[in-house]
Amino acid sequence: MTIRNRTAIRLSDGRELVYFDESTAGHRADYPDTRQLPPPPPASQLRYDPLVDEWVAVAAHRQTRTFLPPSDACPLCPSTSAFASEIPAPDYDVVVFENQFPSFSDRIKPDEITALTDLVPVRPGVGRCEVVCFTSDHNSAFGALPPARVRTVVDALADRTAEMSAIPGVTQVFPFENRGVEIGVTLHHPHGQIYAYPTVPPRTRALLAAAAAYRARTGNDLYTDVLAAERRDGARVVGTNEHWTAYVPAAARWPYEIQIAPHRKVPDLPALSDPERDAFGPLYLDVLRRFDALFGKPMPYISAWHQAVVGEGRDLGYLHLQLFSIRRAADKLKYLAGSESAMGVFVNDIVPERAAQTLREIL
């Protein structure tokens, strides 16, 4: 599936930037990056933790990344005569560019493996990190976008998923949005990110293991059966349309958590059809409005696309979006304290069925 009005340029330090325009009226490539930037920083290290069989990224250069600048110095706003931002053009619809402070990079060789001890190998953080700007309006939010713009964002994420999945050494592509200072955002401008991981993340490893065991036991696809069961039961369904269903997981870990899944099993965003891409926006925007209406103020959240891995286990993946908030009451946040942070055992303060009912009734 090709995307119309896609224009790629290079920033002054060699990083790639791609404009996704909804019309052919603009000439974004006519505006060069006038800044004099240093070369991209060195990539992160991956250090292996043998005690839990996981890799940890160490990226010291990210300590100096931009932190909550004033609106007239926002690096995600269009450039002006007074300030040159990361986006050279004076306006844009959706834009994606390589992160200036990446956790992972495809500018290094993947085979330079060393070791700290006999049990702790160290390897380069091969991969890629990109920033996705949803709108040029600094004061907007994803939930305020029209459905047509959501479609453009989905197309952009699908484009980048396909491109980044082809990078040697990448195991999974993960688009996500962090919203709210409570979550830890460092830039207020409406934006998301895309990580191309060099190892299969722990959450995905757990999903794959559960799906593989279920298939061996039943011959069926696990997420397909979970979604079908939730749709039949209905108690935790928040919204649905012809192609998608939004529901609160029966064992939700977060006070307010929703998964939005297509009715047809697809591995990733590039595999979505045009009707599926069109139908996602209205349902997702409705869910976001319900989140904001819960406590009468903007809801901090993490929005995470779970896609199939690139290599072994890809057939077990089922594309779905996980949306959750750490806010459990108007003036209370859920902190990941002892049980969650140290042991990974979640204790949820909100009964999932009650959360679903509240979200259904809020509007």
User: Is 189 marked within a binding site?
Assistant: yes
Of the candidates 76, 105, 87, 99, which has an alpha carbon nearest to the alpha carbon of residue 35? 87
User: Is 129 marked within a binding site?
Assistant: no
- Quote the CA–CA distance of 160 and 153 in Å, as a whole number: 11
With beta carbons less than 8 A apart as the criterion, state whether 299 and 330 touch: no
User: Is 74 marked within a binding site?
Assistant: yes
Strand order of the sheet with strand 128-133? 6-10, 16-20, 94-98, 128-133, 191-197, 172-179, 301-306, 320-325, 256-262, 244-247, 237-240
* C-alpha torsion sign, points 344, 345, 346, 352: positive
With beta carbons less than 8 A apart as the criterion, state whether 319 and 306 touch: yes
Q: At what angle do helices 352-361 and 274-294 cross, to 10 degrees?
A: 100
With beta carbons less than 8 A apart as the criterion, state whether 191 and 131 touch: yes
- Quote the CA–CA distance of 217 and 225 in Å, as a whole number: 13
- Quote the CA–CA distance of 177 and 190 in Å, as a whole number: 9
Residue 116, by phi and psi: left (phi above 0), alpha (psi -120 to 50) or beta?
alpha
Taking CA atoms, 345 is separated from 223, 289, 325, 341, 352, in Å, by 22, 30, 17, 8, 17
With beta carbons less than 8 A apart as the criterion, state whether 167 and 15 touch: no
Name the active-site residue from 61, 188, 191, 320. Answer: 191
Of the candidates 258, 260, 253, which has an alpha carbon nearest to the alpha carbon of residue 350? 253
Q: Name the pairing type of β-strands 172-179 and 301-306.
A: antiparallel
Q: Is 191 a catalytic residue?
A: yes
- Encoding tokens for residue 314? 């890809």
Amino acid making up residue 169 = G
Taking CA atoms, 32 is separated from 8, 13, 87, 180, 254, in Å, by 12, 12, 9, 32, 44
What positions carry a catalytic annotation? 191
Which residues fall in the annotated binding site? 74, 77, 138, 189
Q: Which residues are annotated as a binding site for Zn(2+)?
A: 74, 77, 138, 189
